Chains A and B, each alone.
Chain A
Amino acid sequence: MTTAPPPFQFPPTYSFPPFFTPQPNSATRTSQLQKWSALIQSWCRHHRTYRLTLSEAIESPLFYNAALRKRLSMKDARDVLDWMAKGEEDGGGGGQRAEWLDGSTKTVARIWWKRPEEWAGIVADWVENTGQKNVVLTVYELVEGEGTLSQEWHGMDTDVMLKCLNVLVKRGKAQVFGGEGQEGVKFF
């Protein structure tokens, strides 16, 4: 999954030591969290990762700056993801960019570096551009097929793709049918 020829380019704040200390000042804290959120999203996009296992991530360069010998502790990292998981209406500024996959234990999170709505828009656009309206595609085809090789969502987890398609279904732009594991989708 971590097939990324060019190494990830960290933002300058990554080498700013206070970045790894939770700030008591709420305004500073907010922008610190925003920067963390941005960093995690871009990291995940760079590595085409949709889920983050906290115990692994803690040791990865994402949360551990070897040059500074600074790291984000498990608790702090969880706080960051918690913040990202919150919607604007919950008082957080995270915009639901993360989602805990294991409920209250909070060890694995899905990172929505694009929200399902955004994915849905992109997929719909792609369908439109490639003239595949009213064509039935399997979800597997959509995710792993050769036709989507150049697309950003290529290699996406199937359940993530299904979520995105569900958005389109709600909008009335697509219909999902078929059983577990071999879903098909038809775009309108």
Chain B
Amino acid sequence: MFFKPLDLTTALRPALLPDETLLFVQDAVGLYEGKYKIPNYQNGHAYLTSHRVCYVALEDPRKYSVAIDLKEVDRAEYQAGFLKSSPKITLYPKPPKSSLSKSKSAGASPSRGQSPGLLAPRPQIQPVTPKAINATWVCPICSFSNPVPSNFDPSTATASTPIPPCLACGIKPPLATILKAVITATSSRNGPPTQSNPTLSGLGGLVPVNGSRSLSSSDSAQLSCPRCTFVNHPSLTECEICGASLAAAVGALKSTQIDSYRAESPAPVFSHNSIKSTEITDCMKLSFRAGGIQIFHERLKGALIQRKWLLYDAPPVPQQPSQSNAIASPGLTVTSPAEGSVPSPSRSPGVGIAGLEQRGLQARKNNELVIGNAFEDLEALMASAKQVMALAASMRETGMTNGDLSGEANAVLLESAETMGMVTTKDMLGSGAGSLYISELSRNLAEYLTDDRKGLLNKEGGIISLIDLWAIFNRSRNGVELVSPSDFQKAAELWETLRLPVRLRQFKSGLLVVQRWDWSDEETLRKIQTWMTELRQVPPTETVAWDWRMFGRAVTAQEAAQRFGWSVGVAAEELEMAEDKGVLCREEGIEGLRFWANFLSGTSIVGDLGLSGIVLDEVNRCT
């Protein structure tokens, strides 16, 4: 495990990799290497993403920010706070690769290694299945309770899977009986949340587990049988009365040993460590000084189970979804393999219109699958984000060719799909972290504004009214997790204190606008003045009563908006600002309000009959 250098965005947040999503943010976090505090890394934001744990210091974030890849993290332990010690999460690195290879065999179900994609949509299933093996099935003939064989996997079992006969009467049970038994055992075990996680992911298939619920509360010296509740002597491995295995109960008692098993997690390793950074040999800790540890820990565990980084190398869109669908969700109707896996070669390449239509049909089916999967549930949606984005991109392309009417809408769709990964929602932050939400939103906005791909600020002439921005921003969120106007304004007001590259500014009239931090009135004034100079060089289209070489011509807010790409409201404000600074002056007439270069004040006009002229005149007359 290494501390890797971290790229920051303009808003001083970690730059996310493609496909990476932000899961949680917590402020006031400190870093420890082993037992020791790391200097300069004691007060910052911890960002949990689907791929990494990032740390960005509050002071000097460009210098002090690191990331740890989750794929190198073996496990995360929670350590409660005690007196002055804050609660901490300890991250243990994976042992070196060599020791991993041997561990692969035991617990992993065969499907795991083959199709990494399935882990994401249904993460809970895999660790659960091996555990469920120790359910018992009741023989329909003699009603004897038989143990389910340890190598039985409900997700892969078919009619051809060998099933041992009943121990009492010797008759093979129907597959359905065993499946039912396994599933009920699984679901009942999944129930209590306190129990599930530590044992689930840890045990794999190594240790048979019975429902050890009752054990967690029982006295350590004696073991209550999970099946008949008889209290057995701790040295026994099987129940004295009913013969059920007590191994799981023993295992639960010796949890530290079991944890060491967990080190041999069967995860495939995609390792390319950078050597330039320091390695974490023992472990590293995150100290949570302002709460939020529970959610962080929870989501960290979730991320470690989901292993989103495996998706990075997943096959491209059309083939992938059906595959993962077929295997990942045994409960769903399984699509036929011909339809799914690799469509093009299996189809007979049709000729002419029929062929084209066939291909169109095929593409539609694929899209249907992707969309269907995506909306299966939210979990699945996040997992399918990649496909959905690709789909949106392709839709946009077709939209472009079909006609420009829908082009913009599709651009918005694509944009929103892209932003899905980068927005901070209230959901990602701990409860009561109102200010953190605002500051994260503030950073979010800054990123959104300065994103070069969209160039939002540039398109708007470097300045945009807050209300327009609010509308655009919420629109890009596609109707979910909308930002309230008050939150939005608060977030915008924070730019200054967070030293982000955008600023909120209030015009005299109260209009709030957003502009780059280096945007200044002087800059605007210079632009306006250049414009005025230009106007003095171009003869007006119609004859005018004034000397256009000297005065140029009048401009309206609309013209200014057009020239500088501002919105009209902003242009009017900027012109008035220039007037306020004495650069422009106004002319009110039946044509409306127009602005001129200011020839009233200042001494730029030679030969103007000012007071000095009179004095001069006087002198001439008197002499």
Contact = CB atoms under 8 A, between A and B. Distances in A.
Residue of A10, A18, A30, A31 most packed against chain B (CB within 10 A): A18
Interface stretch (A36-44, A130-138, A141-149, A155-163): A36-44
Interface in B244-274: none
A68 interface: yes
Contact of A31 (B587, B588, B601, B613): B601
Contact of B608 (A12, A21, A37, A67): A12
A24 B594 CA distance: 13
B607 interface: yes
B546 interface: yes
Given A12-B605, A25-B585, A31-B600, A17 B546 contact: yes
Contacts of B587: 17-18, 20-21
Contact of A23 (B585, B589, B621): B585
B613 to A, nearest CB: 7
Chain B, interface size category, equals 20 to 34
Contacts, number: 97
Contact of A35 (B554, B588, B607, B610): B610
Interface in A60-86: 65, 67-68, 70
A53 interface: no
Interface string B529-571: 0000000000000000111001100100000000000000000
Contacts of B582: 25, 27-28
Residue of B580, B585, B621 most packed against chain A (CB within 10 A): B585
Contacts of A25: 579-580, 582, 585
B614 A13 contact: no
Residue of B547, B596, B610, B621 most packed against chain A (CB within 10 A): B610
Residue of A13, A30, A42 most packed against chain B (CB within 10 A): A13
Contact of A28 (B545, B546, B601, B608): B601
A32 B600 contact: yes
A152 interface: yes
Nearest to A22: B588
A177 interface: no
Nearest to B585: A18
A18 B621 CA distance: 32
B586 A24 contact: yes
Given A24-B586, A39-B609, A19 B550 contact: no
A107 interface: no
B602 interface: yes
Interface residues of A, number: 35
Contacts of B588: 21
Given A18-B596, A38-B614, A13 B608 contact: yes
A21 B596 CA distance: 12
A38 B600 CA distance: 13
Interface in B435-483: none
A166 interface: no
Nearest to A31: B601
A28 B611 contact: no
A34 interface: yes
Contacts of A23: 579, 585-586, 600
Contact of B609 (A21, A30, A31, A38): A38
A41 B605 CA distance: 19
Given A12-B609, A21-B586, A65-B545, 18 more contacts: A13-B599, A13-B605, A13-B608, A15-B547, A15-B551, A16-B551, A17-B546, A18-B599, A23-B585, A23-B586, A25-B579, A25-B580, A31-B601, A35-B608, A38-B609, A42-B617, A68-B546, A152-B621
12 contacts: A13-B599, A15-B545, A16-B546, A21-B586, A21-B588, A21-B589, A28-B579, A28-B600, A31-B602, A41-B614, A42-B609, A122-B622
